[in-house]
Amino acid sequence: MGDLLTGNSSRVPLFDSGAYGKLRSQALDAVVLGLASSVPRGVQSDLTAWVKDVIGTAGGGSRGLDYESVPPAWFEVLCWAGVPFARHGELKWGQDLLESDVKRPMVLRDALQLPSPDRLMDLSSLGIKPMRLFLSQKLGCRLQSAAGVRLYLWPSQAVVVSQVDIPLGGFIYGPNPGQRFSMALNPGGYQMVTW
């Protein structure tokens, strides 16, 4: 991880802030997706230790949408909406999820049709619910929360990271039918659920 998560001289954001949650996600993305990232030196070792703790209990490779198949303009938007990513994910962009001329997410011919990134970002959590239900059908898990919560998924656990500046609550549904885990996230906070 040392080569993928480097330190820089920028200021460390407040621990209880959405900006710190984004740093957590950058650190996880460095390992889960192989994305090189730079974080403030003041928290580099803390984030590295945190990621090792999270990954150490993961029990297998990450699950989700194949990162390499996603157009760059979509990555942050889908992260914001709670779509989990994986380096070699079972879902593929252009096959399972694709941009279409729709007003809100909808399933058509077993593929999730998505509006443009700008239109998707304008939708409420209720507006993106069809997307989350589709993910539940395909991956066995989904979020019920405000947008701005990143979801990371493995065969035996899920991790959620808040990237917003207000406290959030909600649920992680799955992986078994009728199973759900409550979540309460402070700004920039995270929660790990195992099954």
18-32 and 41-56 helices cross at what angle (nearest 10)?
60
195 residues of the chain, pLDDT tens digit each: 557 899 999 999 999 999 999 999 999 999 999 999 999 999 999 999 999 999 998 888 999 999 999 999 999 999 999 999 999 999 999 999 999 999 999 999 999 999 999 999 999 999 999 999 999 999 999 999 999 999 999 999 999 999 999 999 999 999 999 999 999 999 999 999 999
Query: pTM of the entire structure?
Result: 0.94
Would you call 95 helix, strand, or coil by DSSP? coil
Domain ranges of the chain: 60-194
| Chain mean position to CA 114 | 17
Cβ neighbours of residue 150 closer than 8 Å, sequence gap 6 or more: 21, 25, 28, 79, 82, 160, 161, 163
